[in-house]
Amino acid sequence: MKKTLLGIALAALVAVPMLASAAPRDQGQWYLAPKIGYGWSDGDRLSGNGPFLGLGWGYFFKENWAIEAEAGYHRFDDKIGDGQPAEWRQLSVGGSVRYLLDYDYAHPYFGMAFGAGRNELRSTGVDDWGYQIGPILGFEWDVNDSGAFRFEVGHKYTDYNDGAIDSGFWDTTVSLGYSFYFGGGIDSPMRAADPPPMPESDPAPVADVPAADPPRDLPVSITLNGVNFDFDKCTLRGDAIAILDEAVRVLNGNDIEVEVAGHTDAVGSDAYNQTLSECRAKVVGEYLNGQGVANAKISAVNGYGEARPIDTNDTAEGRARNRRTELNVQ
């Protein structure tokens, strides 16, 4: 039976990636994940259930894929009197390979855990180290740019053989935790690396606008590369100001009209992306006006959601290119 369960778990680990649709985290992302939970002991332990503490340290080595080192401590003695021979203490060290899916802020994941566990049968002096392996299923919910709540269920086999007892245990653990992300970047819709805060200041008067550049030939569409936004917001980031100031000089130096167009990638619902693109286009249009670009030069401010991609939405790089703001020359 145990071999059958292990075979099913390994088959799932190989097959499920073919069902996934998008990559929630970028390569190079690190995280720290403390957790607390409860464990249900295998009946062969002749013991009860008990609490669990754990800590994970993870790294996204490839888009969609993370490897996590972890340590955990179980007590299996619920409803067992103190000092009874069925009090188990289990220390686990090892790792896991995880694959995360992406649905806006929600990230279901699955994987396989492996490592070693030391099981001590209290009051007997009997203990043993044995290998551990088993499937895990979980769910993360993004809270902000650098953190997510985590819920996880693990079903792990621990080999045990101290001479007198030759067995193994399939224990189930449910835990709640929090993943602290740092380094790299999280590739979910509207997400970006932590930027310097945008300086708060009143719009500069028209008289302070730099001298206009000489007229020049312009492309039909000007993509404002670098005009990015913070997580789930339409507030301009500080590093977008230089790009927009250059756009101000170009617009004031040419006798043209432009449409401000906002676009998103395909991660998230159509309605959500449409609303977000409209908001971001409006913010860019208002900034241009505030820096001296006449209303007559901005013929329209529109959002197109995910309807006009310029690259694939199947890779992190493609989605980043699709999340853009453009000035379309009329």
pLDDT (0 to 100) of residue 69: 96
- 118: domain CATH number? 2.40.160.20
Which of 127, 150, 182 is the C-terminal boundary of a domain?
182
Q: Is residue 197 part of a domain?
A: no
Q: Is residue 188 part of a domain?
A: no
Number of structural domains (the chain) is: 2
Q: Over the stretch 143-182, which tens digit does the pLDDT of each residue have?
A: 876 889 999 999 999 998 876 677 889 999 999 999 998 8
- In sequence order, which residues have a C-beta less than 8 Å from that of residue 226 and are 6 or more positions away? 239, 240, 242, 243
| Residue ranges for the chain with pLDDT beneath 50 | 1-24, 185-218
pLDDT (0 to 100) of residue 239: 72
Q: Is residue 141 part of a domain?
A: yes
Same domain, yes or no, for 7 and 124?
yes
Same domain, yes or no, for 123 and 261?
no
Q: What is the dihedral of CA 133, 137, 143, 147, to 10 degrees?
A: 10
Same domain, yes or no, for 48 and 91?
yes
Same domain, yes or no, for 147 and 237?
no
pLDDT (0 to 100) of residue 220: 67
Q: Is the dihedral of CA 288, 292, 297, 299 positive or negative?
A: positive
Q: Is residue 22 part of a domain?
A: yes
Task: At 202, give phi and psi (nearest 5°).
Answer: -70, 150
Upper half-sphere CA count for residue 273 (Cβ side, 13 Å): 21
pLDDT (0 to 100) of residue 180: 93
Across the beta sheet with 258-262, what order do the strands follow? 221-223, 325-329, 258-262, 298-303
Same domain, yes or no, for 102 and 165?
yes
Q: Which two tokens stand for residue 232?
A: 């789930």
Q: Is residue 201 part of a domain?
A: no
HEC assignment per residue over 4-42: HHHHHHHHHHHHHHHHCCCCCCCCCCEEEEEEEEEEECC
Same domain, yes or no, for 69 and 143?
yes
Same domain, yes or no, for 147 and 20?
yes
Same domain, yes or no, for 152 and 250?
no
Global pTM value: 0.52
pLDDT (0 to 100) of residue 206: 39
Q: Is residue 230 part of a domain?
A: yes
Task: At 4, give phi and psi (nearest 5°).
Answer: -65, -45
Q: Is residue 99 part of a domain?
A: yes
pLDDT (0 to 100) of residue 327: 87
Same domain, yes or no, for 127 and 253?
no
Domain coverage including residue 77: 2-182
Same domain, yes or no, for 215 and 176?
no
- 285: domain CATH number? 3.30.1330.60
Same domain, yes or no, for 210 and 177?
no
Same domain, yes or no, for 153 and 62?
yes
Which residues are 264's β-sheet partners? none
Which of 116, 150, 182 is the C-terminal boundary of a domain?
182
Q: Is residue 313 part of a domain?
A: yes
